[in-house]
Structure 1
Amino acid sequence: MLLQRAGVNVYRKAPRAATAVHAMATQAGGPKKVLIVGGVAGGASCAARLRRMDEKAEITIFERGPYVSFANCGLPYYVGEIIKEQSALLVANAAKFNKWFNVDVKESTEVVSIDRQAKQVVARDVKTGAETTYPYDYLVLSPGGNAVRPPLPGVDLPGIFSVKTIPDANAIKNWIAEKDAKTAVVIGGGFIGLEMIENLVHRGIKTSLVEMLPQVMPPYDPEVVEPVHERLRAKGVELHLGDGVAGFEAGPGGKGLVVKTASGKAHAADLVVLAIGVKPETSLAKAAGLELGGRGGIKTDAHMRTSDPAIFAVGDAVEVKDYVTGEMTLIPLAGPANRQGRIVADVITGNEPSTFRGSQGTSVLGLFGMTLAATGASEKTLKRIKRDYKKVYLHINNHAGYYPGAKQIDMKLLFDPKDGKILGMQASGEDGVEKRVDVVAFALQKGATVFDLEEAELCYAPQFGSAKDPVNMIGMVAANVMRGMHPLTNWDELDLQQVAADPNAVLVDVREPAELEKVGKVAGCVNMPLSSLRQALGTLQDKDKKYYVYCQVGLRGYVATRQFLQNGFDAINVSGGYKSFQQIISPKL
Structure 2
Amino acid sequence: MNRDSRRILIIGGVAAGATCAARLRRLCERCTIVIFDRGPYVSFANCGLPYHVGNIIVSEEKLLVATPQLFKDRFNIEVHTETEVVRVDRDKKEIELRDIRTNETRRESYDGLVLSTGANAVRPQIPGINLPGIFVLRTIPDSRKIRSAVGNASLAAIVGGGFIGLEMAENLTRRGLSVTIIQRSDQILSSLDPEMAFFVEKHLQANGVTLRLGTGVESFHLDGRLSVKTTSGDTIDTDMVILAMGVQPESSLARNAGLSLGDHGGIRVDDRMQTSDPYIWAVGDVAEVKDVVAGGWHLASLAGPANRQGRIAAAAILDKIIAKTRNETRAVRFRGVQGTAVCSAFGLTVAITGASEKTLKRSGIKNYEKIYLHPGSHASYFPDAKPIHIKLLFDTDTGRVLGAQAIGESGVARRIDIISMVIQMGGTVYDLEESELCYAPQFGAAKDPVNLAGMIAANHLRGDLPLAKWEELKDTQAQIVDVRSKAEYERGHIPGAKNIPLEGLRDRIGDLSKGKEIWLVCGVGQRAYYATRILLQNGFSVKDLSGGMQTYNTLKPKLNLKTS
Please tell me the TM-score bracket, short chain as reference: over 0.9
Give the Å deviation of 1:290.
0.7
Give the Cα–Cα distance (whole angstroms) in 1 for the partners of residues 176 and 244 of structure 2: 20
1:491 paired residue among 467, 470, 483: 470
Question: 1:364 and 2:342 equivalent?
Answer: yes
In the TM superposition, what are the counterparts of 1:509-528 in structure 2 within 5 Å?
A: 509-518=482-491, 520-528=492-500
Give the Å deviation of 1:541.
5.4
Letter of the 1:530 counterpart: L
CA offsets 1:61-106 (integer angstroms, 9 cap, x no match): 0011001000000011101111101001000111111111111000
Give the Cα–Cα distance (whole angstroms) in 2 for the partners of residues 586 and 210 of structure 1: 19
1:300 paired residue among 269, 272, 279: 269
Give the Cα–Cα distance (whole angstroms) in 2 for the partners of residues 146 and 422 of structure 1: 33
Give the Cα–Cα distance (whole angstroms) in 1 for the partners of residues 332 and 316 of structure 2: 7
Q: Counterpart in 2 of 1:411?
A: 390
* Alignment TM-score, normalising by the size of structure 2: 0.96
Give the Å deviation of 1:490.
2.9
Give the Cα–Cα distance (whole angstroms) in 2 for the partners of residues 541 and 258 of structure 1: 60
Q: Counterpart in 1 of 2:248?
A: 279
CA offsets 1:500-535 (integer angstroms, 9 cap, x no match): xx4xx31011111111234x2111111000111111
CA offsets 1:48-71 (integer angstroms, 9 cap, x no match): 101111111111000110010000
Q: Counterpart in 1 of 2:515?
A: 544
Distance 1:162 1:249, change over 3 A: same
Question: 1:333 and 2:306 equivalent?
Answer: no
Q: Counterpart in 1 of 2:456?
A: 477
CA offsets 1:404-446 (integer angstroms, 9 cap, x no match): 0100001111111001001111110110011000000000000
Give the Å deviation of 1:316.
0.6
SS at match of 1:78: helix
Superposed CA RMSD in Å reads 1.3
In structure 2, the gaps of 5 or more residues are: 320-326
In structure 1, the gaps of 5 or more residues are: 1-24
Give the Å deviation of 1:588.
4.6
Give the Cα–Cα distance (whole angstroms) in 2 for the partners of residues 455 and 588 of structure 1: 34
2:150/2:175 contact within 8 Å kept: no
Give the Å deviation of 1:574.
0.5
SS at match of 2:508: helix
Q: Counterpart in 2 of 1:257?
A: 226
In the TM superposition, what are the counterparts of 1:425-504 in structure 2 within 5 Å?
A: 425-492=404-471, 494-496=472-474, 498-499=475-476, 502=477
SS at match of 2:484: coil
Q: Counterpart in 2 of 1:143?
A: 117
Give the Cα–Cα distance (whole angstroms) in 2 for the partners of residues 187 and 536 of structure 1: 55
In the TM superposition, what are the counterparts of 1:58-137 in structure 2 within 5 Å?
A: 58-137=32-111
Question: 1:506 and 2:506 equivalent?
Answer: no
Moved more, 405-414 or 562-571: 562-571
Question: 1:382 and 2:382 equivalent?
Answer: no
CA offsets 1:135-178 (integer angstroms, 9 cap, x no match): 1110000000010011111111100000000000100111222x
Question: 1:574 and 2:553 equivalent?
Answer: no
Letter of the 1:452 counterpart: D
In the TM superposition, what are the counterparts of 1:523-534 in structure 2 within 5 Å?
A: 523-534=495-506
Give the Cα–Cα distance (whole angstroms) in 2 for the partners of residues 294 and 541 of structure 1: 56
SS at match of 1:284: helix
Give the Cα–Cα distance (whole angstroms) in 1 for the partners of residues 461 and 351 of structure 2: 25
SS at match of 2:423: helix
SS at match of 2:371: strand
1:491/1:585 contact within 8 Å kept: no
2:295/2:363 contact within 8 Å kept: no
Q: Counterpart in 2 of 1:202?
A: 174
Give the Cα–Cα distance (whole angstroms) in 2 for the partners of residues 91 and 559 of structure 1: 53
1:125/1:131 contact within 8 Å kept: yes
Give the Å deviation of 1:384.
1.1
Q: Counterpart in 1 of 2:257?
A: 288
Give the Cα–Cα distance (whole angstroms) in 1 for the partners of residues 118 and 138 of structure 2: 10
Q: Counterpart in 2 of 1:269?
A: 238
Give the Cα–Cα distance (whole angstroms) in 1 for the partners of residues 513 and 132 of structure 2: 70
Give the Cα–Cα distance (whole angstroms) in 2 for the partners of residues 540 and 525 of structure 1: 14
Question: 1:170 and 2:140 equivalent?
Answer: no
Letter of the 1:430 counterpart: E
Give the Cα–Cα distance (whole angstroms) in 1 for the partners of residues 393 and 38 of structure 2: 42
Give the Cα–Cα distance (whole angstroms) in 2 for the partners of residues 93 and 513 of structure 1: 65
Give the Cα–Cα distance (whole angstroms) in 2 for the partners of residues 583 and 365 of structure 1: 20
Give the Cα–Cα distance (whole angstroms) in 1 for the partners of residues 173 and 383 of structure 2: 29
Give the Cα–Cα distance (whole angstroms) in 1 for the partners of residues 286 and 408 of structure 2: 32
CA offsets 1:342-374 (integer angstroms, 9 cap, x no match): 001111112562110100010001111001101
1:400/1:462 contact within 8 Å kept: yes
Letter of the 1:450 counterpart: V
Question: 1:216 and 2:218 equivalent?
Answer: no
Q: Counterpart in 2 of 1:186?
A: 158
Q: Counterpart in 2 of 1:315?
A: 284
Give the Å deviation of 1:587.
4.4
Question: 1:53 and 2:53 equivalent?
Answer: no
Q: Counterpart in 2 of 1:9?
A: none
CA offsets 1:97-137 (integer angstroms, 9 cap, x no match): 11111110001111111111111111111111011211111
Question: 1:563 and 2:530 equivalent?
Answer: no
1:230 paired residue among 187, 191, 202: 202
Number of corresponding residues: 550
SS at match of 2:515: coil
Distance 1:104 1:209, change over 3 A: same
Percent of residue pairs bearing the same amino acid type = 52
Give the Å deviation of 1:495.
3.1
* Alignment TM-score, normalising by the size of structure 1: 0.92
SS at match of 2:507: helix
